[in-house]
């Protein structure tokens, strides 16, 4: 199952084979926030979700 970066219900990125790959993309784009407890999270409003592959006719 491919994954992508979403803002609310809108897909922002191409699909990636794993959620970890999307996380790296989000880091490169500056969308990862450091919390006080030392953990990291996506900036508010962003999420990594499973999605249909790029080019899937159901997506278009």
Taking the C-alpha atoms of residue 44 and residue 55, their distance in angstroms, rounded to an integer, is 28
pTM, to two decimals: 0.82
DSSP 4: E
Closest alpha carbon to 20 in 39, 45, 2: 2
For 2, what's the count of Cα atoms within 13 Å in the CB-facing half-sphere? 14
18-27 tens-digit pLDDT? 999 999 999 9
DSSP string, 32-53: EEE-TTS-EEEPTTEEEEE-PP
2-59 tens-digit pLDDT? 999 999 989 999 999 999 999 999 999 999 999 999 999 999 999 999 999 887 656 5
């Amino acid at each position: 199952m491919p994954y992508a970066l979403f803002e609310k219900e809108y897909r922002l990125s191409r699909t990636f084979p794993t959620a970890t790959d999307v996380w790296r993309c989000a880091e490169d784009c500056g969308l990862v926030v450091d919390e006080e407890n030392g953990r990291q999270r996506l900036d508010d409003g962003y999420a990594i979700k499973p999605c249909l592959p790029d080019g899937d006719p159901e997506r278009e």
